[in-house]
Structure 1
Amino acid sequence: MKKIILVGLAVLAVSTSPVLAKKHAAKPKAPAAAASTGGAGPMMGQPSAADREMYMKNKRDSGMK
């Protein structure tokens, strides 16, 4: 009975140690980049007025409403 408990604890210790080691060895998160105040153009994902106009024209030309 003692051997079963001892083996169970040993298996538990071996199986959880890599998980704990991985958790502690994780790289720290990098600080967020500072927002620029310069006018370098629209951010990615923000279409310009010309892009929206072209989208609406293409949508109309394809027959979609």
Structure 2
Amino acid sequence: GFGNTRSSQFDFLRRLDELAVPAKRTVDNAGYFHAGEDPRKIPDSELYDRLVAEFPLWLAAAREQGIVR
């Protein structure tokens, strides 16, 4: 998300990111981070790193659950 950190426009994504595993979902398959008021000010490499930061954890969990090989 970006813009005002107190804005409710991303509440759904925040809640999705916080759903319990395994009670509400098999693996943690959602992530959320706030990219600031203007995400264009974040260097591309940092933005990319933050976008994919949880992917290795998801991949390991998904493999363990047989979701991917």
Q: TM-score range by the shorter chain?
A: under 0.3
The structure number with the bigger radius of gyration is 1
Q: Quick one: higher RCO (CA 8 Å, sep 6+), 1 or 2? A: 2
Q: Give the TM-score normalised by structure 2.
A: 0.27
- Pick the structure with more helix per residue: 1
